[in-house]
Every structure is written in C-alpha cells, then in structure tokens.
Chain A
Amino acid sequence: MTIRSNVAWGTGLALCVGTLLRPSDAAAHLVTTGMGPVYDGIGHLLLTPEDLVPVLALALFAGLRGATQGRRAMFLLPVAWLAGGLLGLRVTAAPVFPVPALSFLILGALLAADVQLPANGVAAVAVVLGLVHGVLNGAALRQGAGGFGLLGIMAALFVLLALASAFVVSLERPWTRIAVRVAGSWIAASGLLLLGWAFRG
C-alpha cells in the first residue's frame, strides 16, 4: 500500500466520520436485559438490525477476502467501535444521513461485488464502520448501559466477526461463495430501500 493510498483512505475516513455526524440530540435506542450493562450491550447489538446486519456484512466480506483480512477486521472493528462509543458517550451526535441505510448499501455492495480492495482496504472499512456506528451507539447508551454496555458490544462484535468471517474463509466450493455474495446483494437492496424511506418525498 502506497503512502498516497494511505492518505486517500485516511481522508476518506475523516470525511465519512465528519459528514455523518453533527452535534444534535441523540435518539435513544436501548435494550434492557435485566442482567446488567454488559448484557444490555450484547443485547443491543444482537437485537438491533441497523447495527447487526452491517457488522455481519463486514464479517462475510472480510471472510471472502481471506483469513488475514478477517483477522484484522476481527480486532480492528471492536476497538474502533469502542473508540467511537467512548466519543459518543461524551458528545451529542446525530447523523445527517441515514447511517444504517448507507452502511447496508455500501457493505452489501462490497460483499455482492466481492470487491478487491487494496491491502488495508478491509481494515479501513472496519475502522470507519466501527467509529461511525460506535459514536451512535455511545450516544444511545449514555442514558442506559454506558461504558460497560460498550464492553458488551465489543465482546459480541469480536465473537460475531470471528465466527462469521471464519465460516466464509472455510468455504471452498465456488457456489458457496456465490451464496454469500447473494446475501450481500440482498443487504444492499434493503439498504437502497431504506435510503428511499429516509428521503421519502
């Protein structure tokens, strides 16, 4: 990976995070399990399709790109999510754009097209996804599970990514990889529809 492409990725990342977030009221979106904040965090991730589906799409995409990429995403996404979440616990942030719709669309499209990103491409996507969704999660968890909730989310992310990307890495027959890509096209199509709802005229 050249310095220029690193700069390009960095700029893109900063732009994404910068444009998607702006100071405003947070929309709370909480899950209460009754078993403490860590479980609330795990429950939040597993029961919120807006977060869960993009994460699964990333896991499948990283898996398609190979074990190394999967491993990087597995470690980077939870860390970026935590960083974003800690930020979100402190600043009020609400997205200008419908973040889940864009995440669905972009990650679904990457997965469906099986895009050959540059060497650190998957890692960069994981970091952007983690930061953006992390900030939103942090803002939502402020009135509930808080920092321990973020820890729960981190753990759930790690396990999900490890399982899903390892599953895809283990797929050898061509049709099984196509099946994963078909799932990506469905995610992208759902994202496109969701974008339509957001900009409904």
Chain B
Amino acid sequence: MSFSRKAAYSFAVPLLVALALAAMPHPAIAHVEQGQATGFLTGLKHPWSGLDHVLAMIAVGLWGAQLGNPALWLLPVTFPMMMSLGAVMGLIGMGLPGVEVGIALSSLLLGGMVMGEVRPKLAVAVLLVGFFAVFHGHAHGTELPPGQSGLLYSMGFVIATGCLHGMGIGIGLVHRWPAGRLALRGAGAFIAGMGLFFLARALT
C-alpha cells in the first residue's frame, strides 16, 4: 500500500514546482503590462468558486484512489485536458447544451461511482471523466477578467484543478483501511446526493 503514499507525492511535487514557476513573474519586474499575477490568481481561484465543480473534481481523485494504478493518475490527467477542450469550445463560440445539467450529472454519477466503488474498464472510466470535464471547462474556463494575462490565468486554472484532484487522491489514501473504505463510499454518497440537489436546481 506504500504506492498510494508515493502517488500522493507524485502530485504534490509537480504541483509545488508548477506553483513556484508560475508564481515567479512579478508584475513590477517582469512586464510593463499590469494584471499578470492577478491573472494567475484569478485562474487559481476559479475552480474553487462553485461547490458543484469542487465536488466533481474531488470525486475524480477519490475514484482514482479507489481504482488504483493506472486510473489513479490517468483520471486526473484526463480531466484537465478535456476541461481545457471544453473551455476552448466556449472560447471559440461553440455552444454546449445543458452545461449546468451536465455539471450536476457529473457530481451525481462520479459520486455514485465512488459510493458503489464501481470498477469499470479503464477506458470507460477515462471516457466518463473526460466527457463530464468538457462541461466543467465550458462553464468556467472562459471567465477571464479584462486586462489579465490569459496564459497565467490558464496555468492557474489548470493547476488549481490538478490540486483539487490531488486533494481527492490525498483523501482517498484512507482506502487502505476497511473503515476508510467505508468512509470513502460515504463521501461518494454525499457527493452523489449533492449532485441530485444540483440537478434539481439546474432543472428548475
């Protein structure tokens, strides 16, 4: 079971490196333009701005921790990539019907997977996570305040998302104990329940 601890480090290390690198450009030294660092902070804060996003992203980490290697890292790699794709769709003006319903369903289904400790084939799990990531990206990847750096916003947005997955994986480490497994399934039930609430809200 030592792999799980190592896996947690495997997310912590790139996260810290990326954070350190991304935090380097200081507006006073780096560029004449203003708002560069704020762009990064805006991006970093954005994925945390709605509980529906936070819960779905943590659920991805929890599910990965339950499934073990290689889903452990493949799911959290898939999500930011597909989320960016969703954001690009939003940016170039491609509509996506039922975004809020899709986001609510993502909490419901991913929470359900964690609750039932469902073990589908890897490709199915990746497809499911990737599919819902598009909705999350479409809804929130495009909200850059004017005058801020698009690059740093994008990096902050992706890093924060990865961080949320990392939190899910970190919490998922309790999977090694029987009581922890039960707790994880309970957390999944909570996320699925919240998904139902989001769905009801989206549909009314």
Contacts and interface: CB of A to CB of B under 8 A. Distances in A.
A192 interface: yes
5 contacts: A53-B21, A175-B10, A193-B141, A195-B88, A201-B93
Interface in A79-113: 100, 112
B57 interface: no
A190 B10 contact: no
Interface in B150-197: 150-152, 154-155, 157-159, 162
Contact of B151 (A43, A50, A182, A201): A50
Interface in B71-111: 73, 76-77, 80-81, 83-85, 87-94
Given A48-B25, A199-B91, A200-B92, A194 B11 contact: no
B11 A190 contact: no
B18 A183 contact: yes
Interface residues of B, number: 47
Contacts, number: 121
Interface residues of A, number: 37
Contacts of A185: 77, 80-81
Interface stretch (B1-9, B47-55, B122-130): B1-9
Interface in A166-201: 173, 175-176, 178-183, 185-186, 188-190, 192-197, 199-201
B121 interface: no
Interface of B: 3, 6-7, 9-11, 13-14, 17-18, 21-22, 24-26, 29-32, 73, 76-77, 80-81, 83-85, 87-94, 141-142, 144, 150-152, 154-155, 157-159, 162
